[in-house]
Amino acid sequence: MTAIARITLLSLVLGLSACAVHRPPPAPTGPTIPPSGPSTQPSSKPSGPVIAPPKPLPSKSPTFAPPPGAASHWDGKMQVYVLDEQPDTFYRQRTYYRWSNGWSRSISPNGPWEETNVQGVPPGLSKQYAQ
């Protein structure tokens, strides 16, 4: 035999022996579960930066207690509770604050109200209602 014929025969034998050694995996017998990772199929949308939806603002403060007996929600920007049933009335640390052409404060949501200046209200609240 010539050298080319020997190399061809040897390559053929080695190639076929590899098929005999490596068996294909068994076919699944039960229902298949689609992969949970990203799809490998091309999408019709252009890919771009993924923007996460904004986190919802908390309804309660992690530091300050809500006003007792009053419906309210926490405003993280102003750092106070906003009373739902009394317009322009706020609460933080056992004090109610009210805006009515100027600031006043009280220990009760129904008064009596004492006039105060911007230094007498929480900083976030005074920035929102700048005089």
Give the pLDDT confidence of 56-75 residue by residue, as tens digits: 555 566 788 899 988 999 98
> What are the pLDDT digits (tens) for 74-93?
988 888 999 999 999 999 99
Strands of 95-99's sheet, edge to edge?
72-75, 80-83, 89-92, 95-99, 103-106, 114-116
> Tokens 């009335």 identify what position?
89
Average pLDDT, stretch 23-42?
Answer: 64
User: What does the pLDDT read at residue 82?
Assistant: 92
Tokens of 88: 């322009």
**Across all residues in the chain, what is the average pLDDT?**
78
C-alpha dist (Å) from residue 27 to 23, 36, 101, 129: 12, 20, 78, 69
- Evaluate if residue 1 carries a pLDDT over 70: no
Residue type at 122 in one-letter notation: P
What is the spatial distance between Cα 61 and Cα 67, in angstroms, rounded to a whole number? 11
Pick the residue with more confidence: 67 or 34? Answer: 67
Beta carbons of 64 and 93 less than 8 angstroms apart: yes
pLDDT tens-digit map of 95-119: 999 998 899 999 999 889 999 988 8
The whole-model pTM stands at 0.54
